[in-house]
Amino acid sequence: MARNELRPVIKLRSTAGTGFTYGTRKNRRNDPDRMTLRKFDPVAGRHVDFREER
């Protein structure tokens, strides 16, 4: 079964400058802009904002 482009796989990169990334899927209908989530960065050792990378 082919993957639907409505829910693409995206990379979330840390804004702390550590280079750590998370992979997730997003719904383009609900979030057409770049996504920002607050998640734990194990390199920095704290919660930081992760922005969608294109």
Question: pTM (2 decimals)?
Answer: 0.85
Kindly report the average pLDDT of the chain as a whole number: 93
The pLDDT of 8-30, averaged and rounded, is 95
Calpha distance 36→33 (Å, rounded): 9
| 47, two tokens | 């919660």
